[in-house]
């Protein structure tokens, strides 16, 4: 575990606040899933959300790009600002918001299209490329950023569903970065992957920090320790503790955090 903490000493000082959430409440029907959560997420930083199953970390993540809108019974209250803009303001189009806040899901979900079309889908619908050459360039750049270019460059027109699980997940990350988002949300991106693929994706996340604000939900505390600079611990819908990753793992303030990271609850 200590070996896994090699990245936590990195600097986080030079970061600005990218996402500011204040008193966020989420209800699923009668269930109060998120209770009064306030958090500041920094730019060019990897922020990890940890906590036991059902604690609301994924729900909160899905508030940040308004994916909860697609669930009929979900209601979100409170303020979430990205770069100072209230994303729940009626003037905000969730479609444009989602182009700016990319998301990678728990299970790799490539479209049943070719590798090329998977990446080109976002740029096409948002009109990011005027010519075929520009699109080709975006596809190559995104695949390189997704650390999968070398593996797929000779078979761009084969179906994306034919790749291995780890490759599919990196393809999905490449697809998410192809629309040039500013924030990348990752909902347990490694839970369906084997250790080797997990290591590749984790290296990639560290790489992505240079350009994006990355928020990652994870079940694995080792993973949070390895890739993140800031960690938030959720429990029963509450944000219990939110601090530097190194501090939260070595010197937790709250008794619940300590119980969780030492394996007594969860």
Partner 1 sequence: MTTFAFVALLCVSVLGYSLNRHAATRLRANGTRLHSVPAYHGLYSLLSTMVPVVTLIVTWLMLQGPLIDRFTMSGLPAGSLDSLDTGGRQLILAEIKSISRGRIFGDPEAWKVDAADRYVRMHAISGWVLLGTVIVASLGIVGFSRSRVAAEFRARHGVERITSGLMLFCSTIAIFTTLGIIAALLFESIRFFERVPIMEFFFGLNWEPQIPLREDQIAAEGAFGWIPVFLGTLVITVVALFLAVPVGLLSAIYLNEFAPSRLRAVAKPVLEILAGVPTVVYGFFAILVVAPAIRSFGATLGIPVSPNTALAAGTVMGIMLIPFISSFTDDALSAVPKSLRDGALALGATRAETVLNVLFPAAIPGIVGGILLAISRAIGETMIVVMAAGLIASLTVNPLDSVTTVTVQIVTLLIGDTSFDNPKTLAAFALGMMLFVVTLVINVFALRIVRKYREAYE
Instruction: Give dist(CA 79, CA 81) in Å, integer.
Output: 6
Candidates 24, 176, 190, 201; binder of partner 1 (CB under 8 A) is: 176
Kindly indicate which of the ranges 11-19, 67-75, 201-209, 222-230 contains the residues binding partner 1, using the contact rule CB under 8 A: 67-75
- C-beta neighbour count of 88 within 10 angstroms: 17
Kindly indicate which of the ranges 82-90, 130-138, 172-180, 222-230 contains the residues binding partner 1, using the contact rule CB under 8 A: 172-180
CB-wise, 102 or 237, nearer to partner 1?
Answer: 102
Paired tokens of 94: 């969730």
Buried b / exposed e across 224-236, counting CB within 10 Å, b at 16+? bbbbbbbbbbbbe
Q: What is the 3-state secondary structure (H, E, C) of 66-99?
A: CHHHHCCCEEEEEEEEECCEECCCCCCCHHHHHH
- C-beta neighbour count of 37 within 10 angstroms: 24
Treating both helix axes as pointing N-terminal to C-terminal, what angle do 165-177 and 115-125 enclose, rounded to 10 degrees? Answer: 20
Kindly indicate which of the ranges 35-43, 94-102, 198-206, 214-222 contains the residues binding partner 1, using the contact rule CB under 8 A: 94-102
Candidates 3, 11, 72, 89; binder of partner 1 (CB under 8 A) is: 72
Kindly indicate which of the ranges 10-18, 43-51, 99-107, 227-235 contains the residues binding partner 1, using the contact rule CB under 8 A: 99-107
Candidates 125, 155, 158, 253; binder of partner 1 (CB under 8 A) is: 125
Q: Which residue has the tokens 């959430």?
A: 21
Candidates 102, 166, 189, 252; binder of partner 1 (CB under 8 A) is: 102
Smallest CA-to-CA distance from 70 within 37, 41, 105, 43 is with: 105
CB-wise, 175 or 235, nearer to partner 1?
Answer: 175
Count of chain residues binding partner 1 (CB under 8 A)? 27
Q: Does residue 65 interact with partner 1 by CB under 8 A?
A: yes
Q: Does residue 217 interact with partner 1 by CB under 8 A?
A: no
Distance of CA 206 to the CA centre of its chain: 12
Q: Does residue 28 interact with partner 1 by CB under 8 A?
A: no
Q: Give the residues lining the site for partner 1 (CB under 8 A).
A: 65, 67, 70, 72, 95-100, 102-103, 105, 107, 109-113, 121-122, 125-126, 172, 175-176, 179
């Amino acid at each position: 575990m200590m070996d896994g903490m090699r990245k936590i000493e990195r600097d986080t000082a030079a970061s600005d606040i990218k996402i500011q959430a204040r008193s966020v409440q989420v209800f699923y029907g009668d269930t109060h899933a998120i209770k009064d959560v306030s958090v500041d997420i920094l730019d060019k930083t990897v922020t990890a959300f940890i906590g036991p199953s059902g604690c609301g970390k994924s729900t909160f993540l899905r508030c940040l790009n308004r994916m909860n809108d697609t669930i009929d019974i979900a209601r979100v209250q409170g303020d979430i600002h990205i770069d100072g803009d209230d994303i729940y303001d009626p003037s905000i189009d969730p479609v444009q918001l989602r182009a700016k806040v990319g998301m990678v899901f728990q299970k790799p979900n490539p479209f049943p299209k070719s590798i090329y079309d998977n990446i080109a889908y976002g740029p096409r619908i948002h009109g990011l490329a005027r010519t075929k050459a520009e699109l080709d360039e975006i596809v190559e750049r995104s695949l390189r950023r997704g650390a999968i270019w070398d593996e797929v460059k000779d078979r761009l027109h084969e179906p994306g569903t034919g790749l291995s699980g780890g490759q599919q997940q990196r393809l999905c990350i490449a697809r998410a970065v192809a629309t040039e988002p500013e924030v990348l949300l990752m909902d347990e991106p490694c839970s369906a992957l084997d250790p080797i693929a997990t290591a590749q994706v984790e290296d990639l996340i560290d790489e992505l920090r240079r350009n994006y604000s990355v928020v990652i939900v994870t079940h694995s505390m080792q993973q949070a320790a390895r890739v993140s600079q800031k960690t938030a611990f959720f429990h029963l819908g509450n944000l219990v503790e939110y601090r530097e990753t190194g501090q939260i793992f070595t010197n937790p303030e709250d008794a619940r955090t300590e119980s969780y990271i030492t394996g007594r609850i969860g």
